[in-house]
Amino acid sequence: MELFEKKFYESMTSKVALLNRITYYIVNRKGKQMRPMFVFLTAKLVSGGEVNERTYRGASVIELIHTATLVHDDVVDESNKRRGFFSINALWKNKIAVLVGDYLLSKGLLLSIDHGDFDLLRIISVAVREMSEGELLQIEKARRLDITEEVYYDIIRQKTATLIAACCSLGACSVKPDSPDVETFRKFGELIGMAFQIKDDLFDYGETKIGKPTGIDIKEQKMTLPLIHVLNNCSKEERRWMVNSVKNHNRNKKRVKEVIAFVKEKGGLDYAVGKMLAFKEEALALLDTYPESDFKNSLHLMVDYVVERKK
């Protein structure tokens, strides 16, 4: 990871001093770095412990694209904080933040093109397309608040799971291109991503401070799994009250608290936890065909972390 961080920072460098100042700020406020870890562990698992320059480039590209989407998200959401630090748009304003996001995206694509990693580029480009579609699908559906569980899964598969799927398939592809492992680990990553997003949904109902306030999804009219399950399994009157609360009273703290309490009481959280664990088990089953190794154990630990993390 230390070597990766060095290569990642180098992949962002520019002749523009302002850009270098901003990218330095980004690198020094890194998050969990779960995505590059998935790239490296997957590569090592399928190759018996080998990683190569393509693996490092793949991990850098994923992190560049992921960072670009976060920078753009903060502009769209008018968010002034990211991981407890000021966001790029808070410090340098929206126009600069959008341009920095575009710059990181292009740097990621060029890193693949300059080295002829077209197989890796395809994986990344599909992920970017799907993430955009997932976000737009969510916006389109959120207006009507009549999301079925299936549509919800479609949204999170594209919005969140597709990037983790790209990490894992990219790791496999970097060391064993054209092998069946590439598709196996795409599926593995997708299942992990589904569990990851459901865990995020559950934080909206938690008591602990995790960097985003409780009830923020309801305030933003985001349809999450606990809410969808209860909406589809309560009486007409209760449903009307819930829809009205989310649509027209989502800024009312007391009303949002009532919705949260109602979702808990009706078993929405338990249902979502069950689904999250089912995705986790399905993912781990894909690892069963691979021999025991430190890399396999580490992937198991990563998967456990996804569903047990506190923020």
CB-CB neighbours of 157 under 10 Å: 18
Per-residue confidence of the chain (311 residues) as pLDDT tens digits?
Answer: 888 888 888 888 888 888 888 887 877 776 678 899 999 999 999 998 889 999 999 999 998 888 888 888 788 777 777 766 777 887 788 888 888 889 889 998 999 999 999 999 999 999 999 999 998 888 887 777 778 899 999 999 999 999 999 999 999 999 999 999 999 999 999 999 999 999 988 887 875 444 455 667 777 777 889 999 999 898 999 999 988 888 888 788 888 889 889 999 999 999 999 999 999 999 999 999 899 999 999 999 999 998 888 76
What's the burial of 86, exposed, middle or buried (CB within 10 Å: 0-12/13-18/19+)? Answer: middle
For helices 180-203 and 294-308, what crossing angle results, to 10°? 30
Query: How far is it, in rounded angstroms, from Cα 173 to Cα 167?
Result: 10
> Mapped to the 3 state alphabet, what secondary structure does 172-187 carry?
HHHHCCCCHHHHHHHH
- Under 8 Å CB-to-CB from 149, ≥6 apart: which residues? 225, 228, 229, 232
Residue with tokens 């291109």: 177
What's the burial of 5, exposed, middle or buried (CB within 10 Å: 0-12/13-18/19+)? Answer: middle
